[in-house]
Amino acid sequence: MSNDSFTTQEREHLDPFFTNLDRNIFGLKLPQEVAGALFSRYSRSAKDLRRVFLDEFLGEMGPFQAPSTPEDMDALKKARAFYDRVLVGYGDDSVAQLGGAHIACEGISNVAANLIEDARIGISPLEKSTRYVRFDKKDSDGEYLFYKEPRIMASKHASKYLKVMNLLFQTYARQMDPMINFITLRLPITEMSFKHPQTGEALTYADIERDAELKKWAQTAYRGTIRAQACDLLRGYLPASTKTNVGLFGIGQAFEYLLTKHYSHPLTEIRQLAEKMHGELNTMIPSFVKRARSNSYLADTYQGTRGFAQEGTTGLRTAPAEAVTLVDYDGEAEEKVLSAILYPHTRLSLAQLRAEIKSWDTERRSRLLQEYLDRRKHRRDKPGRALEQVYYTFDLLGNLGMYRDLHRHRILSQERQDFSTAHGYDTPNELGEIGFKKDFDRCMIQAAELYDQIHADFPHEAQYVVPFAYRVRWYMKMNLRELVHIAELRTMPQGHPDYRSMVQEICRKVENVHPTLLRYAKFIDRKDYHLGRLQSEMRTEYKKSILTPKPPSGL
C-alpha cells in the first residue's frame, strides 16, 4: 500500500492517469513529456509520485484527458494485436523497441534499486536523492523506512536485524539537525562568495543584501546547499535496506529482459518486484512483456559460476588496494584515435591510416588533435566517436554511497561484487570535528558484526545490512569518450566530494600513460570546494523564479 491516502475526490482526479491508486508499484498513463517532468520532480521529493502529481502538476496541465474513450481503446486493441502478430508470429524483437512505458517502484530497498539500475540500454531510471531528501521519515506505523527481508525476518537473526537497522536510522535522525547547525556556523552565508545567477558577476553577500530578490535567491539556495551537505555527511549511516523510490522509463524489449533477469534472481525481493512490475506492465504494454519469465540459463549459470569462484579462490586473502587501479590500457592509443579522426574524410583503410600516423612527429599529431577537440566551449560539446577507439579498465574501491552515484553511468562495462563489510568503511572528517565519530564507529562495528552473522546463513541477504559508508569493489571499462564525459561531469563543484576525488584520481592515472590525449578533456575540475553546490542552487532558484507564473495583481 502507498504511504499516502487519498480522498474520494482526489481518487477521481487521479484514477485516469495511473494504473492503480493503492499499490506501491504502478504505471503512468500520461503524455511522455508530462511523465518525464513528473519523474524529475519526484527525485527531489519525499512524497509519493501520485501525491506530487496531484499537488504540483494536475492543476497546470490544461484540458487533456487520458486515452480512455472507446475509440482510443479500440485503437489500442488494434495496436496490441499488431504487436502480437509481429512479435510472436515472426519473433522480431526490434518491434518491442517501438513502445515503452513509465513505471514507478516505491518503497523498494537500495539493493533492489541498484539491480534495476544495472540495466544499461533501453531503461532510464531516476532515483530518490539522498542529497535532497532526508531519510529520517517514519511510516504510518511509526517505523523507519527499511526493508524487512523475509528470510532474515523468519530466522534467528530477526531481532538483531531490527535492532541494528533502527540504531542506524535513529543515529542518522538524531545527528541531522546538529550537523546542519554545525555547517551553518562553520560556513556562514555572510562569508560566501556568489556569482549573479543571470550575469555571472562576482558578488559578496554585502552586495546581495542590497537587492531583495537576490537576497531571497541566495538564502533559499544556501539553505538547500547546507541541507544537502548535511545529508552527504550522514548518508554513511543508511543501510542498503533503506527504502527508496525509483522512476523509470523503458522500451518493451528492455523491460522484457529486465523482468527475466529479476525472475531468475536469488533474492526474494527481486523476484517479487518482477512479479509486481510485470502485472503493471501487462496493463500498459502486455505484448512486449508476455515472454518474460524465470530463465534457467541465467539462474543456473549464476549459481554454477559462484560456486566455482568460491571453490577456486578458497584460501586467497584480499590484498590491500588503492581506491583506483588502472588495470589495463591501450599502448597504441594515439594512433588509433588519430586514424579514426581521419577515417571518414578519406578512402583509406584504418590499417593504412595507422601505419601513416606512426611516421608523424609530435607537432603534427597535436595539430590534428587540436582541430578535432580544441573548439569545445563547454562540457556539453561532446567529443567525437574517434575517442571510442581507446579503452581503459579500472578496478575501483569506494564507499557504497559513492558507488551508487558512479553506477549511473551505464554506457560502458561495469560489474560489482556483493555489498559487504570486508573492505572497511570511510569516515567523513566532519564527523570527528563535531564529535560524532564515536557514535559512527559504534554503528559501523555493530553492522559488521551483524553482517558476518547473517552472511554465514544467508550470503545474498546479508547485503541488506551494509551501511553506505562501507566500501564496495567494482570495475569499470570505458572508452576515452565516456571517460571524458564522466571526468568533466563528476568533477563539477556541486558533485559529492567522495566521487569527485575518485574521478580526479582516475584522470591522474590516465594522464600518467596518455598525457596528450587527456589534455583535451578541458573541463575537468581539479579543485576542492566547500558548499560547491551553492552557485548551482542559485541558478536553479533564479530559473524557478522566472518560470513560476506571478499571481494577478490584487490577489
Q: How confident is the model at residue 163 (pLDDT cuts 50, 70, 90)?
A: very high
Average pLDDT of 150-156? Answer: 98
pLDDT in tens, 355-366: 999 999 999 999
Other CB atoms within a 10 A radius of the CB of residue 421 amount to 22
Q: Is the pLDDT of residue 43 over 90?
A: no
Q: How confident is the model at residue 552 (pLDDT cuts 50, 70, 90)?
A: very low
pLDDT at site 394:
98
Q: Is the pLDDT of residue 75 over 70?
A: no
Average pLDDT of 347-370? Answer: 96
Radius of gyration of the chain, Cα coordinates, nearest whole angstrom: 26
Q: Report long-range pairs for 435-442 (Cβ below 8 Å, ≥24 apart).
A: 436/175, 436/179, 439/171, 439/175, 440/171, 440/236, 440/237, 440/469
pLDDT at site 141:
93
CA distance 47 to 56: 11
Cβ-based neighbours of 555, under 8 Å, separated by 6 or more: none
Q: pTM of the full predicted structure? A: 0.85
pLDDT at site 95:
64
CA distance 292 to 275: 10
Pick the more confident residue, 494 or 61: 494
pLDDT at site 551:
45
Per-residue cell: 185: 556556523
DSSP 440: H
Average pLDDT of 196-213? Answer: 84
Q: Is the pLDDT of residue 400 over 80?
A: yes
Pick the more confident residue, 196 or 35: 196
pLDDT at site 92:
59
Pairing of strands 193-195, 324-329: unpaired
Residue in the block written with cell 546479508: 462
Average pLDDT of 172-201? Answer: 88
Q: Is the pLDDT of residue 108 over 80?
A: yes
Q: Is the pLDDT of residue 533 over 80?
A: no
CA distance 293 to 40: 31
Task: For 98, list phi and psi in degrees, rounded to 5.
Answer: -90, -15
pLDDT at site 554:
41
pLDDT at site 89:
55
pLDDT in tens, 517-531: 988 888 999 888 766
Instruction: Give the percent of the chain with pLDDT over 90.
Output: 65
Task: For 194, list phi and psi in degrees, rounded to 5.
Answer: -130, 160
Pick the more confident residue, 305 or 88: 305
Average pLDDT of 275-289? Answer: 90
Residue in the block written with cell 537576497: 215
pLDDT at site 217:
82
Across 21-35, 353-367, 492-506, least confident range: 21-35
Cα angle, residue 494 at apex, residues 492 and 498 outer, rounded to 5°: 85
Q: How confident is the model at residue 88 (pLDDT cuts 50, 70, 90)?
A: low
For the chain, which domains are there?
Answer: 8-130+245-295 (3.30.1360), 150-239+535-547 (no CATH), 324-425+467-524 (3.30.1360.170)
Instruction: Give the percent of the chain with pLDDT over 70.
Output: 86
Q: Report helix angle 110-117 to 268-281, nearest 10.
A: 60
Pick the more confident residue, 108 or 42: 108
